[in-house]
Amino acid sequence: MTKNSSNSKNPLHGLWALTNRDLKKWYKNPIILMLGIVQPIIWMSLLGKAMNLGSMFTNFSPTLPPNIPQEQIAQVMSELSKQAMTQIFGTADYFSYMAVGMMSFVVMFTAMFSGMSMVFDRRLGFLNKVLSTPVARGSILMAKILSAVIRALVQATIVLGIAYVLGLSVAANFTILNLLGVYAALFLISLGLSSIFILIAIRSTKQETQMAVVNLLNLPLMFASNALFPTSLMPEWLQMITKINPVTYATDATRQLILYTVDMHQLAIDFLFLGAFAVVFSTIGIVLSWRYLSK
Amino acid sequence: MNGDAIVVEGLTKVFNKNLVAVDHIDFTVKGGEIFGFLGPNGAGKTTTINMLITVLKPTEGKATVCNYDINKQSSEVRNCIGVVPQEYTADEDLKGLENILLCADLYGIPRDVSRKRAEELLALVELTKFKDKQVATYSGGMRRRLELACGLINRPHVFFLDEPTLGLDVQTRAATWNYIKLLKKEYAMTIFMTTHYLEEADMLCDRVAIIDRGKIIAIGTPNDLKESLGGDIMTLSILNSKLDVSDLIKKVPRVKEVKKQDGTYRIKVEDGEETAPTIIDAVRAEGHKVTRLSLTKPTLDEVYLEYTGRSIREEEESKEGFSSQRLAMRKARGQRARGFGH
């Protein structure tokens, strides 16, 4: 057998080739790449700038006894606003608050759509061809997850860059270590989420089903989390949901690392949850791919 | 390659516990031959191929490919086969060469080797000029050739072709046959192909198995199969189509069988050239006027008709409609795929 001698014995062969194929389809398509950049800009500039929550206190004229001087009222209100925002949002600036939430949002979205390419590969016969080659079954799934994770991280970087340009107020003690922490958190959540959505797609031949699942889950995951609004102001039942929503932990971790002074204890809990989430679902994915990729 | 390339024993696939797609089939493909799997739409051709290329698990039975068990040694089987599926599986967003190199990576072939092989294969299927063009710009025939090249990147011992000319026009189909013959000569492989084109099987295949409703109903060289019909086929019409002169024809020596279908007599005869005049004389002697006459040497068409009881043309009609519909759907899907940004 001549060809056996030329084949590498690396069990992961083909993993990068398949990952790269998915990535190429993405970065070689300028329209998709541009939409990926434009969408977060729209969200940040519309939502982040429109919902200027801090100015609620300063931009109205309260009816108060006339013996208090106007300047004093303005001063008190401004101080009040700062304190309320800092206590509830952790920062005086809502734009910064939601811009960081936006990073989780972009990562979540990219991960959710990662299952779609699995459905297309099955429908178009590409998956069958790959299955007839000696590529490890786990690699087929892992390549999908990996490409989704890389895409998600690149998109998140773009959001971070745009947010910085639009006026993100980064904490004074921000270091390169914090940045690495941000990527670690986003890596874990995208790994877990894309594993889930690729798993849903593993036997499916209908992109409609996949779309329906994504549509059903994206808003709940987004709003039942701290991505746009602090959970402390939510009703108790909703808080329960936010506590099992991985988006909450990813957002909290990134916010602590970018905006706040880091609370080591809370950060450890965030990473523990995200780590467990990622490990559990990616393992389930790889184990099930052995059973369910072929019929 | 010596010995048998594929040995199949009692291979069976049942879908959803009640749909028997392949029903206890047995056959052997000798090393170095082109073996054709001929049958109508839904006969079980693709299901059989998918089991042999280890994409589908058999419900029952066993098979070996290159002497490796498809159930227990699937990874060895995968290493020694090349597959060209029915669909165009090359990635439209990638260039031709990129597609071949992607296939090479799936086999773990080192880049320096795969580059050399890719150039060689591209030259062979005459795509060198287009290797840096996106596959989306390729014509149907070019895409088929690219699929052939992709399937050969690991120098397979057994090459599986599932409907290699489906949806191609007549010229492109003939060109594809030439490529298949050329590749066979160049690489001395065993080729297992499915087709529902009879002329394709007749022209390309050393041996043919006719499969219908999951069962193999005939197997042999195209010539053997034709000869098994036992003679030439003569068709004849007389002026008074309501009259039945079958018995009269049957009395003529060397006539083996007479069937009347829609006013036309389908007569199986030995030595058609000599028997035909005798039949005409006999019919005329009774005062009937012969209005039409034809004599054909048996084709696989006739063999197919004989064994399945129906003409493959009738099936083809619906198949063509089906495949054009499928193509349209695929196109729509392709556009949506790009729209969603995966």
Which DSSP string do the residues of B87-106 spell out, in sequence order?
S--S-TTSBHHHHHHHHHHH
Cβ–Cβ contact A246 with B under 8 A: no
Please give the residue of chain B at the shortest CA–CA distance from A128: B55
With contacts defined as CB-CB under 8 Å, which chain A residues touch B330? 124
* CA contacts within 13 A on the Cβ side of A213: 19
Q: Please tell me which residue, B243 or B108, carries the higher pLDDT value.
A: B108
Contact B105 A28 (CB under 8 A): no
Q: How confident is the model at residue B253 (pLDDT cuts 50, 70, 90)?
A: confident
In a mutational test of the B interface, the residue from A123, A132, A137, A211 whose CB has the highest number of chain B CBs within 10 Å is A132
Q: How confident is the model at residue A27 (pLDDT cuts 50, 70, 90)?
A: confident
Nearest to B94 among A10, A24, A124 (CB): A24
Q: Are B273 and B224 in contact (CB under 8 A)?
A: no
pLDDT average, residue stretch B2-26: 90
CA distance B297 to B138: 40
Nearest to B106 among A17, A25, A113 (CB): A17
Nearest to A21 among B75, B91, B108 (CB): B91
pLDDT average, residue stretch B1-5: 73
pLDDT at res. A73:
77
pLDDT average, residue stretch A4-29: 76
CA distance A41 to A8: 45
Q: How confident is the model at residue A48 (pLDDT cuts 50, 70, 90)?
A: confident
CA distance A203 to A277: 22
Q: Are B38 and B300 in contact (CB under 8 A)?
A: yes
**Which residue do the tokens 């996106």 mark?**
B134
Q: Are B287 and B253 in contact (CB under 8 A)?
A: no
**pLDDT tens profile B70-101:** 999 998 999 999 999 888 889 888 999 999 99
Identity of the highest mean pLDDT range in A268-272, B180-184, B336-340: A268-272
Residue A157, min C-alpha distance to chain B (Å): 18
**pLDDT tens profile A161-177:** 988 988 888 888 888 99
CA distance B288 to B300: 32
Average pLDDT, chain A: 85
pLDDT at res. B329:
44
Q: How confident is the model at residue A57 (pLDDT cuts 50, 70, 90)?
A: low
Q: Does B21 have pLDDT greater than 60?
A: yes
User: Is residue B154 helix, strand or coil?
Assistant: coil
With contacts defined as CB-CB under 8 Å, which chain B residues touch A8? 108-110
Nearest to B333 among A8, A120, A134 (CB): A120
Average pLDDT, chain B: 84
Instruction: Determine whether A208 is exposed, middle or buried from the number of CB atoms within 10 Å of its CB (0-12, 13-18, 19+).
Output: exposed
**pLDDT tens profile B207-237:** 999 998 899 999 999 888 887 877 788 888 8
Tokens of B88: 């165009």
Q: Does A144 have pLDDT greater than 90?
A: yes
**Which residue do the tokens 């005086």 mark?**
A92
**pLDDT tens profile A220-274:** 888 889 888 888 888 999 999 999 999 999 999 999 999 888 889 999 999 999 9
pLDDT average, residue stretch A136-156: 92
Q: Are B104 and B114 in contact (CB under 8 A)?
A: yes
Q: Please tell me which residue, B51 or B166, carries the higher pLDDT value.
A: B51
Q: Are A274 and A198 in contact (CB under 8 A)?
A: no
Nearest to B105 among A13, A26, A29 (CB): A13
**pLDDT tens profile B46-64:** 999 999 999 999 999 999 9
**pLDDT tens profile B113-135:** 999 999 999 998 889 999 999 99
**Inter-chain CB pairs, A–B, below 8 Å:** 126
Residue B198, min C-alpha distance to chain A (Å): 25
Q: Does A6 have pLDDT greater than 50?
A: no
pLDDT average, residue stretch A63-79: 77
pLDDT average, residue stretch B321-338: 46
Q: How confident is the model at residue A116 (pLDDT cuts 50, 70, 90)?
A: confident
Please give the residue of chain B at the shortest CA–CA distance from A121: B89
Give the start-end residues of each E strand in chain B.
4-15, 19-30, 34-38, 60-65, 68-69, 81-84, 158-162, 190-195, 207-212, 215-220, 232-238, 255-261, 264-269, 290-296
pLDDT average, residue stretch A87-113: 85
**pLDDT tens profile B137-160:** 999 889 989 999 999 999 999 999
CA distance A166 to A100: 12
pLDDT average, residue stretch A128-137: 90
Contact B342 A114 (CB under 8 A): yes
What's the gap between Cα B183 and its chain centre?
17
Q: Does A3 have pLDDT greater than 80?
A: no
Q: Dihedral, CA atoms, B89, B95, B99, B105, nearest 10 degrees?
A: -150
With contacts defined as CB-CB under 8 Å, which chain A residues touch B335? none
pLDDT over 70, % of chain B: 90
Q: Which residues touch A75 (CB under 8 Å, ≥6 apart)?
A: none
pLDDT at res. B191:
94
Tokens of A288: 């099930």
Backbone angles phi, psi at B277, to 5 degrees: -60, -40
Contact B54 A8 (CB under 8 A): no
Q: How confident is the model at residue A58 (pLDDT cuts 50, 70, 90)?
A: low
With contacts defined as CB-CB under 8 Å, which chain A residues touch B79? 1, 3-4, 7, 134
Q: Does B335 have pLDDT greater than 70?
A: no
**Among A84-93, A243-252, B162-171, B254-263, the least confident range:** A84-93
Identity of the highest mean pLDDT range in A69-78, A186-195, B138-147, B213-222: A186-195
Q: Are B302 and B222 in contact (CB under 8 A)?
A: no
Nearest to B102 among A6, A21, A120 (CB): A21
pLDDT average, residue stretch B270-282: 86
pLDDT at res. A8:
47
Residue A84, amino acid: A
pLDDT at res. A152:
92
Contact A16 B105 (CB under 8 A): yes
Backbone angles phi, psi at B98, to 5 degrees: -60, -40
Q: Which residues touch B191 (CB under 8 Å, ≥6 apart)?
A: B33, B34, B35, B158, B159, B160, B161, B180, B184
Residue B266, min C-alpha distance to chain A (Å): 43
Q: Does A63 have pLDDT greater than 60?
A: yes
Q: Does B261 have pLDDT greater than 90?
A: no
**Among A46-55, B277-286, B301-310, the least confident range:** A46-55
Q: Dihedral, CA atoms, B14, B19, B22, B24, nearest 10 degrees?
A: 70
Query: At CB < 8 Å, which residues of chain B contact A?
Result: 50, 53-57, 75, 78-81, 83, 85-89, 91, 93-94, 98, 102-103, 105-110, 113, 154-156, 160, 330, 333-334, 336-338, 340-342
pLDDT over 90, % of chain A: 32
CA distance A198 to A187: 16
Strand partners, B261: B264
Q: How confident is the model at residue B337 (pLDDT cuts 50, 70, 90)?
A: very low
pLDDT average, residue stretch B261-283: 85
pLDDT at res. A258:
92
Contact B337 A29 (CB under 8 A): no
Q: Are B127 and B145 in contact (CB under 8 A)?
A: yes
Contact B108 A7 (CB under 8 A): yes
